[in-house]
Structure 1
Amino acid sequence: MTEPTASEPTDDGRPAQKPVQLNDVADYEDLLEEHDLVLLEFVTSGCGICASMEPVLGAVARSAPGAVATVNAGLVPALTAEFGVQRVPTLVVLKDGEEVARLDDGFQSADTIVDLLETHAAH
């Protein structure tokens, strides 16, 4: 699994993170073991909206609770099937390994995603 890259610390002292790329089911399982709150973004190569979401997810990873990961739906079909992904981008929020929220209706703002993660982190 590709580890998040630390850069300048954030305002709360945590190192700034960027989304992790999940390349297989083992990467996904490792991520769930390490984090109780996870945002998965399912993407495909050549998806324009997915590409436009990259900087948004970077901002989310730096400011929101939990881990942020991307999954290429075409390269990890087992996860794509497990989550019943029908279109991309699909964002899935997992709390303790269980799906608690899903956004699959196109581009989402960083504020929308951060609010969603903060809501589920509080529970």
Structure 2
Amino acid sequence: MQGTDAKPIRVETAAELDALIDAHDRLLVELFTEGCGACAAMEPVLGVVARETGVPVALVNPRDDPVLIERFDVRSVPTLVRFEDGEAVDRLAEGFVGADRVIEFLR
């Protein structure tokens, strides 16, 4: 998936997210909300991360499917969740972070 066209994928429901999780060995998910400046600023960073690492990135607003808030214990946004082989293995909820920090998080 590495390449210049790697962009974050927007999903709206838990079912869409689950399909992406199932389709990829590794996946990075950003949980965001509309109107969140730090979340909006993360999108271009995540595009860089997808291109640099080849790891697909999904963006989901848990308010669109509130089951996601409880499922991922979302307390602040943006929250990044790293999936490996279908399992959530790590999370990063430090607000806005740069591409280098996200790439480090993926290692």
Q: Do the two structures share a fold, i.e. TM-score over 0.5?
A: yes
Counterpart among 45, 49, 64 of residue 38 in structure 2: 49
Map Cα deviations across residues 66-117 of structure 1 (whole Å, 9 max, x no partner).
Answer: 2100111211211221010011000011111222211101111111111222
- Matched-pair identity in %: 44
The residue number in structure 2 matching 1:62 is: 51
Question: 1:37 touches 1:65 (CA, 8 Å); kept in 2?
Answer: no
CA distance in 2, matches of 1:40, 1:31: 10
TM-score, reference length from structure 2: 0.90
TM-score, normalised to structure 1, is 0.79
After the TM superposition, which parts of structure 1 deviate over 2 Å for at least 4 consecutive aligned residues?
A: none
Larger relative contact order (C-alpha < 8 A, sep ≥ 6)?
2
Q: Kindly name which structure, 1 or 2, has the bigger radius of gyration based on alpha carbons.
A: 1
1:91 matched to 2:87? The reply is: no
Higher helix share: 2
Unaligned 5+ residue runs, structure 2? none
Change in Cα spacing, 1:65 to 1:115, as seen in structure 2 (3 Å) is farther
Give the 5 Å matches for 1:1-123.
Answer: 10=3, 16-117=5-106, 119=107
